């Protein structure tokens, strides 16, 4: 009999693609603010309501819900939305599982390498590295702590946290935003262009969730990034190569980016070189470890 996996963040970049990977082996349900299909169940994090039928019989929860950090300028209200969408949503799940005496085998929570903050160009982060500074590091810290009670209160048999890098996908996310100016001959590196981007192909992040889900012995924190981070300048050049466009313009200065994006510019400017050795030692093999192969597939 197939086990049931409940995925939150139904409209996010990863959820529907991940479901395609899991469908052969699992029954899939989604939690959504606007249910459309028979396997969609309504929830509202702000109102702290959930259709309890969506939780009945669930074996595993993959918690992907979270407001897009790059969608809007980081006003005080937006910061609250970014945090609440991650922390309060986990609390809503825990509360309803606990009150209805429901137990699950796995609670697998999305997380982010923003936990590590920024660093010198040569510094590498692994899962044992200390928390960094800044808004994103604080958000991720609380995000991960919101997952711990599932294990402590014995609602879940195990908890896994996936610290995800910059996801490269064809339809949405960072890649189309970077490719657009390059396509129209106005692309250029950001800041110094030397800041490392720890990235991952959309297919590989889905495969990591599948890998962790199917390996019931795994728990704790895992970085989900390609083994080979790439400087922002090199990524821009590779996109230009694939689109057959030249790069005419010099790097966009930091002060310009900070003026345009405010505090959110840190997403573009912070250097974060993250290692994937822990997940690889468990036997995971990347399909797209190299940026050239990844872009050849995506563009």
Q: How is 116-158 classified by DSSP, letter by letter?
A: G----TT-EE-TTSPP-SSHHHHHHHHHHHTTHHHHHTTSEEE
The whole-model pTM stands at 0.93
The pLDDT, as a whole number, for residue 171 is 85
Residue in 11, 290, 13, 7 with CA at minimum distance from that of residue 174: 13
Angstrom distance (rounded) from CA 259 to CA 238: 27
Instruction: State the pLDDT at residue 259.
Output: 72
Rounded to whole angstroms, how far apart are CA atoms 286 and 50? 36
Higher pLDDT, 216 or 70: 216
Query: Among 10-19, 41-50, 214-223, 254-263, which is the least confidently predicted range?
Result: 254-263
Can you give the pLDDT at residue 116? 95
pLDDT at residue 260 in the model:
67
**Among 80, 228, 86, which Cα is nearest to 161's?**
86
In this prediction, residue 211 has a pLDDT band, given cuts at 50, 70 and 90, of very high
d(CA 256, CA 267): 14
Q: Higher-confidence residue: 181 or 26?
A: 26
Cα–Cα nearest to 215, from 87, 108, 124, 94: 108
- What letter does residue 250 receive in the DSSP assignment? P
Query: Cα dist. 167→48, 50, 93, 102, 157 in Å?
Result: 29, 29, 26, 33, 29
Closest by CA to 298, choosing from 169, 122, 196, is 169
Q: Which of 112-121, 125-134, 256-265 has the highest mean pLDDT?
A: 125-134
pLDDT (0 to 100) of residue 190: 81
How high does pLDDT run on average in the chain? Answer: 92
pLDDT tens-digit map of 52-92: 999 999 999 999 999 988 878 889 999 999 999 999 999 99
Q: What is the pLDDT of residue 186?
A: 78
Q: What is the pLDDT of residue 77?
A: 93
Could you report the per-residue pLDDT of 152-210, keeping only the tens digit for each? 999 999 999 999 999 999 988 888 888 888 887 778 888 888 899 999 999 999 999 99
Q: Residue 214: what pLDDT?
A: 97
């Amino acid at each position: 009999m197939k086990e049931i996996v409940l995925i939150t963040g139904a409209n996010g970049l990863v959820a529907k693609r991940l479901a395609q990977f899991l469908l052969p082996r699992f029954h899939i349900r989604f939690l959504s603010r606007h249910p459309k299909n028979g396997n969609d169940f309504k929830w509202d994090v702000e109102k702290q309501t959930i259709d309890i039928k969506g939780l009945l019989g669930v074996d595993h929860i993959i918690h992907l819900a979270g407001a897009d950090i790059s969608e809007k300028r980081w006003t005080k209200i937006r910061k609250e939305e970014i945090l609440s969408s991650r922390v309060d949503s986990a609390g809503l799940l825990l509360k309803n599982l606990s009150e209805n005496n429901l137990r699950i085998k796995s609670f697998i929570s999305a997380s982010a390498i923003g936990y590590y903050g920024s660093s010198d160009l040569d510094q590498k982060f692994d899962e044992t590295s200390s928390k960094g500074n800044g808004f994103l590091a604080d958000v991720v810290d609380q995000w991960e702590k919101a997952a711990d009670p599932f294990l402590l209160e014995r609602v879940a048999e195990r908890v896994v946290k996936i610290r995800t890098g910059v996801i490269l996908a064809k339809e949405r996310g960072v890649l189309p935003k970077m490719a657009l100016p390059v396509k129209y001959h106005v692309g250029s590196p950001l800041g110094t262009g030397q800041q490392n981007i720890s990235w991952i192909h959309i297919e590989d992040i889905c495969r990591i969730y599948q890998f962790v889900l199917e390996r019931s012995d795994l728990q704790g924190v895992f970085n989900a990034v390609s083994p080979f981070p790439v400087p922002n300048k090199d990524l821009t050049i590779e996109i230009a190569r694939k689109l057959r466009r030249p790069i005419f313009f010099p790097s966009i200065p930091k002060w310009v980016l900070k003026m345009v994006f405010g505090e959110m510019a840190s997403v573009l400017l912070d250097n974060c070189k993250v290692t994937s050795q822990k997940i690889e030692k468990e036997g995971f093999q990347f399909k797209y470890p190299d940026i050239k192969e990844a872009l050849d597939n995506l563009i």
